[in-house]
Structure 1
Amino acid sequence: MTMLRKIYFSFGFLMVFCLSSVAMAEELTARQVVEAFQDQLIDVMKQGKELGFKGRFDKLDAAVKKSHDLPKIARIVVGKQWEELTPDQQAKLESVFTELSVSAYAHNFKEFSGESFSFVSEEETGRGGVVVHTNLKIPGEKDVKFDYMMKKKDDSWQIINIIADGVSDLALKRSDYTSVLNREGFDKLIAKINEKIESYAKQ
């Protein structure tokens, strides 16, 4: 191997090593994903009144999509009936469910009165997931316990369920969605979700 080829080879190896190191450094842990999202929630709450619903929605849109596996959650909440939907229906459900999720955050985290999140603990689940336990501290009130169920998607951790004070958001939605699908059909489910989105925007 000539000296010039050695230099090229060494430089190429160094570049690959550096890029790999950067990628590893940028990969966030499950806890870091949760804490980054919670920081954004608090930031939006502090600006809540000035932003209004649309401003809060716009600020949280990318944050929710980045930290939550919304397509997977949408599939889980309709259960076995997902396979019975057409591709267009599946895409429609994912779309309105995503809008609903962002709208719910924009509605529920709209005012700030000294709230803060604190990390409690983290544990691995039996199926390669992680649960991040946190508390929402509200001045003058009892802490609200938030447990984030996390799964790895590609190279990042994402939220697939949130349990607030022992109540699973995923279980509640699954019960509601499957009930409407069974009794009233797909179009009625989409209509009900859109009604909820509109009610969040008005409050």
Structure 2
Amino acid sequence: MVRKIYLSLSFLVLFLTTSFALAEEISAKQVVESFQGQLIEVMKAGKELGFQGRYDKLDQAVKNSHDLPKIARIVVGKQWETLTAEQQAKLETVFTQLSVSAYAHNFKDFSGESFTFVSEEETGRGGVVIHTNLNIPGEKAIKFDYMMKKKDDSWQIINIIADGVSDLALKRSDYTSVLNRDGFDALITKINEKIESYAKQ
């Protein structure tokens, strides 16, 4: 009898724990909408914050919503395996700085913009694409499609396609050619120069 009660209680605890975890899980759509909300908030205070202020506000938001280490690996492709552990860590660091800098530069002021959810689409490999629009008063909306993958227990962005143009494809084309032609140090220099240009504009 005691054993039956113990097993019943154990099952109940497991059921409640699992149910709670499922209830708390943040969906891919919620990850995107939360990040877009943070972008809009930074845009509203963009001029007052300046580049560094926007960077500081967006730093953790980008890291939380994007799988930046995975993106860095995809960008350099097969060359990733030829890099030392130190070089891999360095590339992840500067690539993260580049990603945050790009957002701080591109979303720097506010003129009534808003994001709207359009649809959600499952991919063949367990991923999800969140289709959204960036609405700009007086202009045509820009389509932002977020390619999402599950990492551990959370969804993260691995690529963004703006009006049909893949950010990941552009970076891969640009940076792999530098790495293959001029080497690792030249790639790091190029990325740092891009970061500096974002900060000055």
Q: Which residue of 2 aligns with 1:188?
A: 186
> Cα deviation per residue 1:60-83 (whole Å; 9 max; x = unaligned)?
111111111100000000011000
1:143 maps to which residue? 141
Aligned residues: 201
**DSSP 3-state at the match of 2:174:** helix
Match of 1:54 in 2: 52
1:17, distance to aligned residue in structure 2 (A): 3.7
Output the TM-score relative to the length of structure 2: 0.94
**Residue aligning to 1:91:** 89
Which residue type is aligned with residue 93 of structure 2?
S
SS in 2 for 1:142: coil
Distance 1:40 1:11 in 2: 42
Q: Deviations over 1:34-81 (max 9, x none)?
A: 111101100111111111111111111111111111000000000110
Question: Structure 1 unaligned runs (5+)?
Answer: none
Q: Which residue of 2 aligns with 1:131?
A: 129
SS in 2 for 1:110: coil
**Alpha-carbon distance in 2 for matches of 1:180, 1:50:** 36
Aligned to 1:80: 78
TM-score of the superposed pair, with normalisation by structure 1: 0.93
Q: Distance in 2 between matches of 1:49 and 1:11?
A: 57
CA shift for structure 1 position 16: 4.1
Letter aligned with residue 96 of structure 2: T
Q: Give the match's secondary structure for 1:157.
A: strand
Deviating beyond 3 angstroms after TM superposition, the runs of 4 or more aligned structure 1 residues are 8-19
Counterpart for residue 19 of structure 1: 17
Q: Report whether the alignment pairs 1:198 with 2:196.
A: yes
Cα separation, 1, equivalents of 2:44 and 2:18: 38
Instruction: Output the aligned Cα RMSD.
Output: 1.7
The one-letter code of the counterpart of 2:130 is: V
The alignment partner of 1:49 has SS state of: helix
Separation in 2, partners of 1:20, 1:202: 49
